[in-house]
Amino acid sequence: MSTLVGKKAPSFKANAVINGKDIVENYSLDQFIGEKYVVFFFYPLDFTFVCPTELLAFQEKLAEFEKRNTAVVGCSVDSQFSHWAWLNTEKKHGGINSVTYPIVADISKTISENYGVLAGEYDIDEEGQSVFVGEPVAYRGLFLIDKKGVVRHQLVNDLPLGRNVDEALRMVDALTHFEEYGEVCPANWQEGKDAMKASSDGVADYLSKH
């Protein structure tokens, strides 16, 4: 698995479900270039256990992302029809029927492969047949993509480990602060706290206050 930080986010066109109900073709993150930041996250499968907690947690904070001019987009190796069914299942039955942000269908697994989060790989067995070794699903990968389409933050969790949505918001704040003020953000930085100038004088000034 290689890092994509500092590189152009891999482009794709795929089926997706938007607004919790509409199936669209040729959905692409390219529509946000020059317009919005993107938090693009992968999860293993629909109709599972940890996954709905994550998707619902992103929905709960969706207004916060939107205030930061940031689009949230999910993706798994399920089909658009599975996404649609899950989105139209009530939460008390394991569904995510309140989610409104787009969910991309990566049934070919090529998007997961290109982002380096597929939990396994294709190989050739002793009989010359193509086989998949590992889990044919995506790790819990998250990518913060800037308005130029460049990945600025990447986080990949193993399948059992759910993510912290507030940390994703903090990363958006940190990137926005850097782009606006040219200041770098130290450990545990949060919006409203002091940042640092990227120079020895700036670091010394910051440290003298803390």
Cβ of 66: how many Cβ atoms within 10 Å? 13
Catalytic residue (choose from 33, 39, 51, 104): 51
Contact in structure between 143 and 151 (CB atoms under 8 Å): yes
**Of the candidates 201, 169, 198, 176, the residue with the CA atom closest to the CA atom of residue 186:** 198
- Partners of 22 in the β-ladder: 18
SS3 175: helix
Distance CA 163, CA 160 (A): 10
Residue 65, φ and ψ in degrees, nearest 5: -65, -40
Cβ of 128: how many Cβ atoms within 10 Å? 6
Distance CA 139, CA 7 (A): 20
Known catalytic residue: 51? yes
Distance CA 131, CA 155 (A): 28
Catalytically active residues, by annotation? 51
